[in-house]
Structure 1
């Protein structure tokens, strides 16, 4: 980008697309302890988790210092559609295929010297930032409240049945369902957050850098 002013030849940004969903591992452990864990019961728990906290996507951008990108102008540039050909401003994007990635070593980009370590740290920082977002906390609190409301009547019926009868089975079902409810609510408060996709983006206003990458074009390669 000719109008981009970075701290060096190119600035590195990481995009993480996360899937947030209820963590049902604890509930599966409850079923296993009760000798009730089967493929069908595990699938049922996943469905219950999805009903209480419908899975959703969340995107996090980090800069090369592994801080969240919050500047709207930068986010707008990062969100531009891919431009494989030169546009009216003589700007274009490059897909860093294997040949171009090899050419990146000719550019003075310090982050490449510890790339694998940087990517691993970025993954950890991105999730930590996502978990700290007030908007996520609010969504999870709402889901917990709804889950407690959904379970209240059903658990009340099971408890009443267990208390007025002498059936060991009724008491067992009440105890099991109460434990499952508690574990599911815990799995909503501390949800599973997994990476669906990760992208590294290098922003540069240096035409010399573009020249290095353009010279590395492979025959019939996708840009």
Structure 2
């Protein structure tokens, strides 16, 4: 079972967990298959994890003192530090789940017991997952685009996005297309969303609710 790590997630693993790129896939694998999920948690921690999952990705796992956000395809999107109020993790986890979790994390032979397979060639197919990954990359690169929809067109994908400076959009197209081809192994094209009259929809209007959302 392969666990893919996006460039954004690899960067956050380094910043927030001190995990280098050579160990990123291994850590993602451990979190995905041996971390604590929503059904393992109780009370306020369960509520917090549920909100993180809805906001950021398909499912979330707690491993160590960090929360790992995965897409529906099991791709690691990003990680967050666990809030301080949950640092005494055992108090917020169901007993059986905690026992299982500690048996794994305390194992001295963990590395030998986990058949880790990794890949640097992700094959994304789900448009919603691609939308999440694209927006994470845009945020990391400080590009003021917001992808609102991704549709498949033959063997490629069309990403409909918003910005506040439509006339300057094209300066980013080549670098974004190259990044998608090299990092995600897919072809993505970008088109600024227009309204029914053919005018560009601005990001600020979309976020403020001044335009009708599909």
- Does TM-score exceed 0.5, indicating one fold? no
TM-score in terms of structure 2 length:
0.24
Q: Which has the larger radius of gyration?
A: 1
Greater share of residues in helix = 1
**RCO (CA 8 Å, sep 6+): is it higher in 1 or 2?**
1
